[in-house]
Homo-oligomer: A and B are copies of this chain.
Amino acid sequence: MRILLVGAGGVGTAITRIAARRPFFDHMVVADYDLPRAKAAVAALGDAAARFTPARIDAADTRAVTDLLAEHRCDVLLNATDPRFVLPLFDAALAAGADYLDMAMSMSRPHPERPYEEVGVKLGDEQFARAGAWTERGGLALVGMGVEPGLADVFARYAADELFDEIEEIGIRDGGNLTVEGYEFAPSFSIWTTIEECLNPPLIYEKDRGWYTTEPFSEPEVFDFPDGIGPVECVNVEHEEVVLVPRWIPARRVTFKYGLGEEFIGALKTLHAIGVDRTDPVEVRTGDGTVEVSPRDVVAAVLPDPAGLGERMHGKTCAGTWVKGVKDGRPREVYLYHVVDNQWTMREYGSQAVVWQTAVNPVIALELLAEGVWKGTGVLGPEAFEPRPFLDLLVAYGSPWGMREQ
């Protein structure tokens, strides 16, 4: 298997470090807009760098990506960029005859009149709209294959297959107790993506009602996270699992709640009230005349790079899937989860916990595809595949998952 990894940011760099220890692939091209960043990711692999080649690419340029896939005879494109580049990369893979994986799906657009009640264009809609072309070509686009979405969807399928006869609700719940020394405000994941998912109208699925939206930060609940993390207040957030899970798993209700914390929610509300969450460019006067910039890109530029915060970070992050339903005629409730300790990821991989936890999952998926354990055609979510081999391989990668019967 020859892989084109697009994006050598936090997650992309962690992907190279995880993949470098696995023999399942022949070569990985590490491409980034910023060539020095791609080179640094490869150079950091030391003796293992031989299977990796850095390259420069503009992820928005479908033609250039198609050419790069052909030039390196890549079988698969792994997208580790932010959601703005999903469609051009997805189209490039289709055009080049390569398979495709991503960890976030094509972007949503709110309902023009009733944004906090009805869905407009949903996450991934534009990818699923092209499913016919993928099926026709016999290619596979495995979408939403990070941790959330990704592992959380694998957990949902596992629960449906092995733990429940009937499912009432599947609720993805994400929380942690990470702190970053020396910063008043230092998000542990891409602020661009965090703003996108937290300020968009949260998405909820109900069998009788279909998909609908609410006001941001709705339905706060305190969820008790395992492994010493403890109770964290979680709120509804727009996330791919709510789109993906109901396509393959019968559940009466699907939600996603994120343990943002009151302070972080306040900061996001302020950014939105002021308008610096905007992505459309504004004109700004500088010493050298007027320039156009996207305010959200400026917010990202002033904040520390989350991938570089590992040394100052303490604590654990937890991703998981809470499932409520019936098994053998009795009510059952479980939380399937994956906890990662920053101390462990820093020691083992030099990557901070949140980006490492995202990165490990697409590498496992690629390994299952390379070995023919997972196969499929069309545009498929993680829940379209057998969950057991994935969960076993996660343990083999040194990062066990857990289950709490509640």
Give me the interface of A with B, judged by CB distance under 8 Å.
Answer: 33, 60, 184-185, 266-267, 270-276, 278, 281-288, 291-295, 297-299, 301-303
The 8 A-B pairs at the shortest CB distance, nearest first, are namely A184-B273, A275-B302, A185-B273, A270-B270, A291-B291, A282-B301, A298-B298, A284-B301
Listed by A's residue number, 12 A-B pairs whose Cβ atoms lie within 8 Å are A33-B285, A184-B272, A184-B273, A266-B266, A267-B270, A276-B298, A281-B286, A282-B301, A286-B293, A293-B293, A295-B302, A298-B298
State A131–B109 Cα separation when bound (angstroms): 59
Cβ-defined contact, B274 with A299, below 8 A: yes
Q: Contact check: which of B274, B291, B292 meets A302 at CB < 8 Å?
A: B274
Chain B residue at minimum C-beta to C-beta distance from A298: B298
- In the bound complex, how far is the Cα of B293 from the Cα of A285, in angstroms? 8
Among B60, B266, B278, B288, contact of A270 (Cβ-Cβ < 8 Å): B266
What B residues does A294 contact at CB under 8 A? Answer: 284, 286
- How far, in whole Å, are A276 and B303 apart by their CA atoms in the complex? 9
Q: Quick one: closest B residue to A267, CB to CB?
A: B270
Measured in the bound complex, the distance between the Cα atoms of B266 and A33 in whole Å is: 37
The answer to whether B267 and A274 touch across the interface, beta carbons within 8 angstroms, is yes
CA distance A215 to B281 in the complex (A): 35
Complex CA gap A153/B270 in Å reads 35
**In whole angstroms, how far apart are the Cα atoms of A233 and B25 in the complex?**
64
Complex Cα spacing A331 to B95, Å: 86
Are A291 and B286 within 8 A (Cβ)?
A: yes
Closest chain B residue, CB of each to CB of A288:
B292
Chain B residue at minimal CB-CB distance from A278: B302
Q: Is A282 touching B303 in the complex (CB atoms < 8 A)?
A: no
Collect the chain B residues with CB atoms within 8 Å of residue A276's CB. Answer: 276, 298-299, 302
Q: Provide the bound-state CA to CA distance between A323 and B128, in Å.
A: 70
**Contact status of A301 and B283, CB under 8 A, knowing A270-B266, A291-B293, A293-B293:** yes
CA distance A184 to B268 in the complex (A): 13
**B residues within 8 A CB of A298?**
276, 282, 284, 293, 295, 298
Establish whether residues A286 and B297, one from each chain, have CB atoms under 8 Å apart when the complex forms.
yes
A151 CA to B287 CA, complexed, in Å: 33
Least Cβ–Cβ distance between A46 and chain B, in angstroms: 29
- For the complex with contacts A60-B287, A185-B273, 18 further pairs of A-B residues with Cβ separation under 8 Å are A33-B285, A267-B270, A271-B274, A274-B299, A274-B302, A274-B303, A275-B302, A275-B303, A278-B302, A282-B298, A282-B301, A284-B293, A284-B297, A284-B298, A284-B301, A286-B293, A291-B293, A293-B293
Identify the closest chain B residue to A58 (Cβ).
Answer: B287
Closest-CB distance, A347 to chain B (whole angstroms): 30
